[in-house]
Structure formats: structure tokens, C-alpha cells
């Protein structure tokens, strides 16, 4: 009778055949697992933004300094022109050198122009009619030595038909008389070259040239940009500019947006 095996020898006898056969002795779930990742520390809270520290001697409650005003536009030399008047005489800018000059682009067929030339009939047959707003300005300032040139840049279309405002010189003379207009001359810029030289695109438009030959003002004739209304109730930019210029004062403004 064999002596009983010791516990250790018995374990070897049981385990050795399994090891030789390649059988795992422990379940797969018991296999060693990778170590758990180390905990990531939470990010530190961001510090609140700090207000900039004003320089010494500056009151942080004081308002910011205002931006410097824009420099006025550089003066523009007036473009020379050579345009015939109603009598067929060529008129030029050089002819009126040393004087205040108003170039008033007009078109008697334009509704924005018509309101400026509407005369008020007399109360009776013996009473003279009252000139409209534009003829009244023409009379007032030509009496002060201002040269007032009404300019019409309407011509003929390619097919020979007239554009709005175009008239032959004889018809122009009748129209001027009917409206009681009193410019120094009416210039017929039928090819539009003078209008393009001054960048005029609408009627009425005013260009005022100072005695040195520079454009002092260009734009609307007044602050009432509509076809209807009473021009005498509007602010006349022409009168405003001429009154300042004739008094030797700076003009209130050099440019406005024309309408028409």
C-alpha cells in the first residue's frame, strides 16, 4: 500500500498534466488588466479680467476726447468753358474773371425747376406780376455785381428729336421773358460738355465760383428737395453762399446733394 501523497505533491500531480497540455489554469476574466489611468486634475479657474489702469493723472470717469473734425475738401479750380448764349455769342469763364459767378443749371420743362419760376400774377390788370423765386434771386444778386449764368445742357437726340428742356434761341427768349427771368446770360450747352465738366446730372443745380476762380459751392439750390412747395419758405443755399461771400465771410458749406 502506497503512502498518501503530501498536499504539495498532490497539487503538482494535478497541475502538471494541464500545464504540459497548454490549458490555462485561471479564467480569462482573471487575466491582468491594464492599470486605470491616473485622474486628470481639474483646470484651475481663470482669473477675472482686470480693467486697464489709466495713466497717472487721468480721470477714468472722464469722457473720451472727441475725434478731430474732418479737414475741409481741397478747393477745386473751376473748369473753363466756351458756350454760346441766346444771341450766338461765345461766353467763357475768363470773361468774368474776378467776380462772383453763379452757374444755374436749369430746364424749364423740369417740375423741380418750374416751382422756382412760377410768377404771381398781379391783382389787377394794372398791377405788375411778381417774379418767381429764382428770377427774384437773379435780380437781387446781379444788382450787387454777381454774374448769373443760367445753363441748359439739353440737346437733340440721335434721331433729331429734342430732349426735355431743349429750345431754339428764339423760343428761349420768349420763355425767359414770360418767366420774368433776369440772368446775365443763358448758355445753351447743347452738347452737354459744360455739364459733364462740372459733373452736373440734375436740374436745378447751382455752382458758385469765387473771384479767384475756384468752386466755392456746388449742389442743391435750396433745402426743399421736392417738385411742389413754396421756394420762398425754403433755405436758399445760393443766397446763403453769396451773402457770406460778398461779406468776405467763409461760406457755411461747400457742397450739398443736388436734387431733381
pLDDT (0 to 100) of residue 34: 55
Task: Please check whether residue 197 lies inside any domain of the structure.
Answer: yes
Task: Please check whether residue 237 lies inside any domain of the structure.
Answer: yes
pTM exceeding the 0.85 threshold for the entire prediction:
no
Task: Please check whether residue 55 lies inside any domain of the structure.
Answer: no
* 6-32 pLDDT per residue, tens: 555 555 555 555 555 555 554 555 445
> Residue 244's CB: how many other CB atoms inside 10 A?
16
Cα-based angle 92, 95, 99 (whole degrees, multiple of 5):
115
pLDDT (0 to 100) of residue 127: 73
| CATH (domain of 143) | 3.40.30.10
Task: Please check whether residue 239 lies inside any domain of the structure.
Answer: yes
Task: Please check whether residue 81 lies inside any domain of the structure.
Answer: no
Q: How confident is the model at residue 239 (pLDDT cuts 50, 70, 90)?
A: very high
* 81-140 pLDDT per residue, tens: 999 999 999 999 999 999 999 999 999 999 999 999 998 887 666 777 889 999 999 999
Q: How far is CA 115 from CA 53, 110, 237, 242, 247, in A?
A: 62, 9, 16, 21, 29
Does the pLDDT at position 1 exceed 50? Answer: no
Task: Please check whether residue 181 lies inside any domain of the structure.
Answer: yes
Domain range holding 131? 98-246
Task: Please check whether residue 16 lies inside any domain of the structure.
Answer: no
* 29-80 pLDDT per residue, tens: 544 555 566 666 666 667 666 666 666 666 667 676 677 666 666 889 999 9
245-251: long-range contacts, CB 8 A cutoff, minimum separation 24: 245/100, 245/208, 245/210, 245/216, 246/100, 246/144, 246/146, 251/216, 251/217
Task: Please check whether residue 57 lies inside any domain of the structure.
Answer: no
The count of domains in the chain is 1
Amino acid at each position: 500500500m502506497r503512502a498518501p501523497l503530501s498536499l504539495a505533491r498532490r497539487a503538482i500531480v494535478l497541475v502538471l498534466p494541464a500545464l504540459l497540455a497548454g490549458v490555462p489554469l485561471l479564467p480569462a476574466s482573471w487575466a491582468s488588466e491594464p492599470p486605470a489611468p491616473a485622474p486628470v486634475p481639474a483646470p484651475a479657474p481663470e482669473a477675472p479680467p482686470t480693467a486697464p489702469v489709466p495713466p497717472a493723472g487721468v480721470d477714468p470717469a472722464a469722457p473720451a476726447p472727441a475725434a478731430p473734425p474732418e479737414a475741409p475738401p481741397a478747393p477745386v479750380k473751376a473748369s473753363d468753358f466756351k458756350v454760346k448764349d441766346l444771341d450766338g455769342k461765345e461766353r467763357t469763364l475768363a470773361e468774368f474773371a474776378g467776380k462772383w459767378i453763379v452757374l444755374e443749371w436749369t430746364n424749364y420743362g423740369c417740375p423741380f425747376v418750374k416751382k422756382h419760376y412760377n410768377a404771381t400774377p398781379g391783382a389787377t390788370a394794372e398791377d405788375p406780376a411778381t417774379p418767381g423765386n429764382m428770377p427774384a434771386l437773379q435780380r437781387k444778386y446781379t444788382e450787387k455785381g454777381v454774374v448769373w449764368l443760367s445753363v441748359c445742357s439739353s440737346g437733340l437726340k440721335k434721331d433729331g428729336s429734342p430732349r426735355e428742356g431743349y429750345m431754339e434761341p428764339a423760343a428761349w427768349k420768349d420763355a425767359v421773358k414770360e418767366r420774368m427771368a433776369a440772368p446775365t446770360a443763358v448758355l445753351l450747352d447743347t452738347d452737354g460738355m459744360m455739364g459733364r465738366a462740372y459733373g452736373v446730372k440734375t436740374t436745378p443745380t447751382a455752382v458758385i465760383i469765387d473771384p479767384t476762380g475756384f468752386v466755392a459751392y456746388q449742389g442743391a439750390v435750396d433745402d426743399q428737395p421736392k417738385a411742389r412747395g413754396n421756394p420762398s419758405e425754403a433755405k436758399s443755399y445760393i443766397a446763403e453762399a453769396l451773402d457770406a461771400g460778398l461779406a468776405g465771410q467763409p461760406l457755411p458749406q461747400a457742397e450739398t446733394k443736388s436734387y431733381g
